Structure 1
């Protein structure tokens, strides 16, 4: 027996570009949902069935650290280099002029201003025009606290468009499994990992940063899985893959063997029988193998085999035995068989 504990680690990809690694999450979770419509009719409005629709696969991650990429992904924005920021500095005037340390730029419009007040006072900031020589002229000499905007060439900048669309990413969430068997001397030790792969994860576009005097602003990543690819004859897409990997598992200590479903049957000549083969883990339900994960002789005594179907030959008599062997990495497990009595 195993249990999941702690938060996961998330990795986000935009196409083939790795855009974020969230290793400081404070919570992470998935919610799988489905809606139903009751089919009721007749006397007493009896329930005849239920129609399932509107399936959902939602994820929510909360990171303790701030990452500009999270906001950019939520708003469908790109991050560029260089941006205009405010700077505060304390400077002393000479001949009622103060030379700014950085090249001031306009906050809005085309005129460039700096805002200054005498150091050590509660005065409000007064507005001063910045000259072409990057200076301001003050009424009296002294030391001033000055605020103005300049361009930081190494800053990271993103622009949020008024009509934004969140990005659709690929998300991989990994969580640890721990041993929980009461008879296991290694109880509570790391037992493995669960990996959740979402090929198309569309963020919901909501982002909130709550700034308080005594708190830390966490960053949330929330979104919904979109159907991806085509699966089966119906062409339905998939939301996600959930993969469990047990640490130190080998074929010998992890599986007891393979079995054939309904291994003893009765059939007539010419009948076609579906062959379902399962691998049997020691601590979980049997896992169905794909047709390319086991081998059967294409032609045997009393049968032929192709693509998961056993066809009983016209000359078959008595009992027909179909031997099944697992392919690597399960090829060391004992073989299984389908035994068919011919009517």
Structure 2
């Protein structure tokens, strides 16, 4: 014990990591997220087969139960689907698709909302009224319904032979557009407070331009709430994508996400092949819970009023 104490004294952990380790739930959530991200990044190397390569599938290996059940095959730990694809490999690749869609959708929401919120809060006047009324109108529509509407219109305008190839970009864009008002409202409120402070007045007197003040002075002081909301919004984006995929408006079956796997597996649930839907659903639920728990801890750390 003395040796461990000496090592900790000689090589102290960073303060954020020490605070994280003092919160068991947040620590577990962070470990789950690290495992999920690592599994998604390493999917081509961890997966037993490439589920996108139809030539590698064998229909004689279809409908196999998990390896620990009677009739299971040790090569397929979680069983196989109706095409003979390894379910664990499908989940690993589905994790990758879900995370890509969620992160890219949140990046679009953050970019649009931050630009609109900074411009609105700093400039005020007519620009503030116009941008916030647009946000108010969008708030009257549920975000998921708006994403479904945007995706449906986009798909209808595309040629039939291009719809599958552009399905994922359309879902990302639809989810990104549907949630930008949340970031705009948050950033606008912070910008309204920050623009009244002395350092902004000093920057104006120093001859700095409006864009330079917004980006160089105000934006760094509103990054904490943006980061917290973005972390929590990843869970919304992943869940929304899974919902869209479940009802058939998400990513195509050729590049399945967890939502697509759940939709496909649901058709086999009542025939006794429960593993095809249960394991993707558990993976999705665990990832969403971990994101929300870690996001709540991050909010507590970055908001001084909650410490």
- Using structure 2 for the length normalisation, give the TM-score: 0.19
Quick check: which one's strand share is greater? Answer: 1
Give the alignment's TM-score, normalised by structure 1: 0.18
